[in-house]
DNA sequence: ACGATAAGTTAACATCGTTAACTATGCAAG
DNA sequence: CTTGCATAGTTAACGATGTTAACTTATCGT
């Protein structure tokens, strides 16, 4: 094995895949072109990935990890006792990563079209869970601190509780249904708002959607978070 | 020109493209396979479309049209003076079409990835405008009827007005900035919520997101619409 | 020293999008 | 009626793609 320059590591492969993704979207990440840019023959890649789909899967997992790391770091730069600020920071980190890496964001959160890379048990689920945990921990703290606004249990949609997936948390850390409801709402709205903005679907109304979209996320936080109680409760 | 069965119309081509889209996503709509299913040679399709990208563009335009028609019909089945109900009906039609045609929805509103079919002046813009008009007319009526909740102009984000794209409507039908703000908010949130639901990104929390997602849209309507004033205003 | 395993290579196959060159049909003008 | 031409299709071919098979080479543990 001659090392023409560097070793042919999975990292270098994924990195080239990302270049191609940025340049021309998913259809542009083409096995033979990846090989060309690595000065290597195409079948060599099959020692590291089982095919083109696997290349995409590796890339997705890597990007999910980068995104999760970004949000995690933003969150952990906030004073430990300020859960509301943590939510704001993680959300802002999510949004700015998405805007700065539109193609990558689209690959991760674009509609998982039939026939595309559909990893059921691949390395994506680990990264995906890690990402979920970043936000789950914030909501957990909001809940413990009494800063999470929660609807009355009787106001939840009929049959909502029955559809809940029981979380893998220990029983003493389980979220009450109303908290899961708020978590899911925060997630659905955050991801939805950012997806629409990143896709440029606001272009018909404004030339720059920056201040508008940011306000939408702030309003969401306002709906989720309870103002700090005034005096000491005891 | 032998007519083996039917004539080779653009409609039949688009219809086969849609079949393939459903079966295997965008990568599965393959020129030669389209031709095969039409019992025709591949180059024959080039008399009707200029290539694979054009095939996708035609399909997108057709789907946008179908979606717009669906929303339009739902809206027009509501008593003409009940604008709030029109919004609800059009939104519900949008959502149920999206859920019933996930692949198609993903193609229309999936992230417009670089390298994919990017029609700037193709037949898509017409269908797209038509779709926008369906909802714009509803918001216009809500506005005229005083049923559109609008934020105070001083509460709009700094610099928001400056980014607004001036609409092609006659000056006497222009929306005030606060109304555009609400229109854009309704659009961004509706499209975002539905995109996330259709993509199945709620699966980690619930087995069926139906009642949950429906409630999110109802809450959105509640934020957008002003309750009917009690007595006669005069 | 040696053989097995890992990590490359070249050659080949079927399939893809697209173009070029050709053919047959149907209709309008003389 | 015939001529002629645009329309709508055909076959053949080119280059590029994903993937597999068969082969080569280097590394390293025993």
Confidence of residue A177 (pLDDT cuts 50, 70, 90): very high
Q: Are B22 and B104 in contact (CB under 8 A)?
A: yes
Gap from B200 CA to D18 C1', in Å?
A: 29
Mean of per-residue pLDDT scores for chain A: 93
| A23-36 pLDDT per residue, tens | 999 999 999 999 99
CB B25 to CB A116 under 8 A?
yes
Instruction: Identify the pLDDT of residue B3.
Output: 42
Confidence of residue A101 (pLDDT cuts 50, 70, 90): very high
* Predicted pLDDT at B36: 98
Average pLDDT per consecutive 10 residues, chain B (234 residues; last block may be shorter): 68 98 96 98 98 96 97 98 98 98 95 72 81 96 98 97 89 92 98 97 96 98 94 62
pLDDT at B230: 80
Residue of B214, B223, B219 lying closest to B95 (CA atoms): B214
pLDDT band at residue A2 under the 50/70/90 scheme: very low
pLDDT band at A145 (very low <50, low <70, confident <90, very high): very high
Give the CA B211 to C1' C7 distance in Å. 53
In the block, residue with structure tokens 């990440």: A29
3-class DSSP state for residue B148?
Answer: strand
Q: Verify whether the Cβ–Cβ distance B189 to A187 is below 8 Å.
A: no
Interval A104-133 mean pLDDT:
82
Within chain B, where are the H helices?
Answer: 10-24, 31-37, 52-76, 83-100, 102-109, 124-144, 177-198, 210-224
Between A61 and A234, the more confident residue is A61
Report, as an integer, the average pLDDT of A100-120.
84
Residue nearest to nucleotide C15 (CA to C1'): B32
Note the strand C nucleotides within 7 A of protein beta carbons. Answer: 6-11, 15-21, 24-26
> Which nucleotide lies closest to B31 by the C1' atom and the CA atom?
C17
Residues of B in contact with A113 (CB under 8 A): 25-27, 103, 106-107, 110
pLDDT attached to residue A4:
46
Q: Residue A114: which of B25, B183, B207 has the nearest Cβ? A: B25
- Percent of chain A whose pLDDT exceeds 70: 94
pLDDT number for residue A158 = 96
- pLDDT tens per residue across span A178-190: 999 999 999 999 9
In chain A, which residue's Cα lies nearest the Cα of B159? A211
Q: What is the mean pLDDT of residues A188-199?
A: 98
For residue B17, the distance in angstroms to the closest alpha carbon of chain A comes to 14
Q: Is the pLDDT of residue A232 over 80?
A: no
Q: Rounded to a whole number, what is the distance in Å from the CA of B7 to chain A's nearest CA?
A: 30
* CB pairs < 8 Å spanning A and B: 189
What is the distance in angstroms between the Cα of A167 and the nearest Cα belonging to chain B? 8
Domains (ranges, CATH) in chain A? 1-49 (1.10.10), 64-224 (1.10.357.10)
Q: Decide: B61 and B127 in contact? Cβ < 8 Å.
A: yes
The pLDDT confidence band at residue A162, using thresholds 50, 70 and 90, is very high
- Asked whether the beta carbons of residue B184 and residue A205 sit closer than 8 angstroms, the reply is yes
Give the Cα separation of A33 and A51 in Å (integer).
13
């Amino acid at each position: 094995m001659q090392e023409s320059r560097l070793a042919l590591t999975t990292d270098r492969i994924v990195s080239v895949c990302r270049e191609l993704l940025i340049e021309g979207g998913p259809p542009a990440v083409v096995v033979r072109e990846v090989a060309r840019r690595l000065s290597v023959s195409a079948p060599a890649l099959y020692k590291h990935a089982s095919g083109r789909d696997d290349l995409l899967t590796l890339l997705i997992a890597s990007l999910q990890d980068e995104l999760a790391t970004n949000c995690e770091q933003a969150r952990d730069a906030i004073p430990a006792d300020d859960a509301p600020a943590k939510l704001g920071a993680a959300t802002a980190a999510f949004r700015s990563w998405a805007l700065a890496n539109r193609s990558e964001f689209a690959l991760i959160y674009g509609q998982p079209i039939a026939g595309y890379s559909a990893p059921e048990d691949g390395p994506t689920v680990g990264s995906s869970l890690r990402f979920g945990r970043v936000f789950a921990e914030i909501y957990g703290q909001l809940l413990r601190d009494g800063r999470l606004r929660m609807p009355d249990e009787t106001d939840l949609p009929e049959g909502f509780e029955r559809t809940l997936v029981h979380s893998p948390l220990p029983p003493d850390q389980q979220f009450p249904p109303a908290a899961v409801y708020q978590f899911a709402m925060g997630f659905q709205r955050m991801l939805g708002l950012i997806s629409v903005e990143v896709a440029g679907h606001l272009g018909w109304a404004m030339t720059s959607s920056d201040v508008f979209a940011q306000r939408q996320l702030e309003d969401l936080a306002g709906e989720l978070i309870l103002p700090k109680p005034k005096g000491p409760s005891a």
